[in-house]
Amino acid sequence: MGPLPAVSLPMILALALVSSAAAAAPPRAPAAAGEDGQWTMPGRDYASTRFSPLAQINSGNATTLHPVWTFSTGVLAGHEGQPLVVGDTMYVITPWPNVLYAFDLSKDGYPLRWKYRPDVSANAIGVSCCDTVNRGAFYADGKIIYNLLDGHTVAVDAKSGQEVWKTQIADMGSGETVTMAPLVVKDRVIVGASGGEFGIYGWTKGLDLKTGAVLWTAHNLGPDADMLARGADFKTPYDSGADLGVHTWPGDTWRTGGAPVWGWLSYDPELDLIYYGTGNAGPYNAEQRPGDNKWTASVLARRPADGSLVWAYQFTPHDSWDFDATGAMVLADLTVAGKPVKALVHFDKNGFAYTLDRTNGRVILAQPFVKVNWATAVDLQTGRPVVDPAKQTGASKGTVKDICPCLEGGVSPASPPAYSPRTHLFYTSTNNLCMDYASARAAYLKGTPFMGINSPYSVGPGGYLGTFMAWDAATGKKVWENKEEFPNWSGALVTAGDVAFYGTLDGWFKSVDARTGKVLSKFKVGSGVVGNPITYRGPDGKQYVAVYAGIGGDWLLLAGDVRSDDPTDVRAPLSCGGGRGTKPGYHSLGLARPAAGAIDLTRSVAGVRCGKLNINRAQFGRLAGAAQWRLTTSQLKGRVRFDWREAGLVCEITLRV
């Protein structure tokens, strides 16, 4: 297995058919209802299917796809999310500092129409858990609406690039940042916050589309009043009683319980319900929070107008493995066992693929789509996983070995699937990683990591690290899969031409036959793909495919040599023996080989020597300047001593310049 590539200049890439193939392609079929060749919201439609009715590119001519345009953003961070195409303009958003670009698709070379650069606090870098990513924007009412890392939502005039409104929605001082893509339903902008690693009190908010004013706030745990669970209007498929978001926690620990919203949202106009998943429970030491810990690691269904909670279902009660449920909730009408079902399909971090009834949250099917051993099944009568007691974690249990999947998930929630109504299949990236898990007691300090975790990873069965697969959610069975050398972290796209698209961490962008998985084309983009491909019809009538390239997210932290602009960052790539807690600050810092200008660190944790680590000056500056680190200094014969507090432990760091 070769190393992951170093980060080249992250970019957006557009591909098209060669002219001869385009000419040879059959005439374009009449546009489907509502099909206009645009991509105006993160999942292309409210159901989050990432399916395009465009069919000019098909399994017969996709072999001739080639690049026609690139743009380098100049930001060395994870390029998650996807561009938007509205009319003859493409909109691109970067990771922090969250610059918005508008490109003219009607002219040769896609020249820049305008650029909007918001004022985004650099303090957000230190509070962000897992890179400074941005998962995209939404077009509505003539505005491009998106979130800023430092806790603001902005609306920008799509034609002029002028700011229309800017609203603070999150509190960085509490550990909240915002990386998710908003969802606009009628006159509401729905947003949520990251921060499960900081013990936030997770929430979603509804903003006014015209003014940006916050109209409602609904917490994802806590008392029914805070959750906007209003009496008989809120019904759970398997639980009963009031204030479940309180009584399933000890004392008032729900106040720091997490349940962030950093993934994707869907909407059913007929039922008038928005759907979204919540993240992990805090802290990672599950013994500090006995009980189900509702509603972390759950899916919630709300009314967009006032935030009223209609139903909720918890995928992983008493989350002991960091199994966030923030991945996409894809809405599709399926036939299951001969009966029509208004389905919600979700590939969870915990390794199970769920088919739910989206009218009430009941589980219809739940089957593993990767290696799963923390649970043996999901009981369809109770909706609960059947947990293997030997895989239950907690501080008193020491290191629990060989848990599958690892906490990166059977699929990353940042990697949304796609669904084709033509093949009736779902397409998704997967990871084949297991982990050892050791937790420690954590102490809460506002705005600092609230974790207590060490979790090195190992390769799962078979020796490969990821796949791209097709899944039948009506039967709970895998149809085909393509094994990949590295974990797969990109989102999926599928089209009416029966072609699916995805990218890999080692920098390949691929098209495959949606029915068989046969690779039709691949192009080396120069950096790992953690973004989500889209397709659109250009002003010239041709179909194009676009994707971000720029490795990042967790893999920026684990991949190895990641800063081409830093001569001291030349370390050997890390294998999948990494994991949360294995480096200072729960893997938030890269480690470097000793080099000129490097800083040599040694550390001890609770009196136990953890080994000798090396970190360059820029990385040390990131540590020292980050809001979550509480540092004290004293001069000791030319050395500087730092007390590093995380998860209730004091780590002694000696700096030798």
Mind telling me the catalytic residues? 197, 280, 322
Using CA atoms, how far residue 467 sits from 7, 262, 492, in Å, is: 22, 24, 12
Using CA atoms, how far residue 116 sits from 105, 167, 280, 526, 587, in Å, is: 18, 16, 34, 27, 32
Which tokens is 227 given?
Answer: 């959750």
Q: Residue 640's CB: how many other CB atoms inside 10 A? A: 16
Which tokens is 273 given?
Answer: 């319900």
Contacts of 540 (CB under 8 A, 6+ apart): none
Long-range own/partner contacts, residues 22-26 (CB < 8 A, 24 or more apart)? 22/56, 22/61, 22/542, 24/61, 25/56, 25/57, 25/58, 25/60, 25/61, 26/58
Task: In whole angstroms, give the CA distance from residue 43 to residue 52.
Answer: 10
CB half-sphere exposure, 92, CA atoms < 13 A? 31
Using CA atoms, how far residue 529 sits from 8, 14, 30, 328, in Å, is: 12, 14, 33, 18
Task: In whole angstroms, give the CA distance from residue 343 to residue 334.
Answer: 6
- Which of 112, 57, 122, 75 is CA-nearest to residue 90? 112
Task: In whole angstroms, give the CA distance from residue 433 to residue 399.
Answer: 17
CA torsion sign for 49, 460, 557, 579 is: positive
> Residue 634, exposed/middle/buried by CB under 10 A (0-12, 13-18, 19+)?
exposed
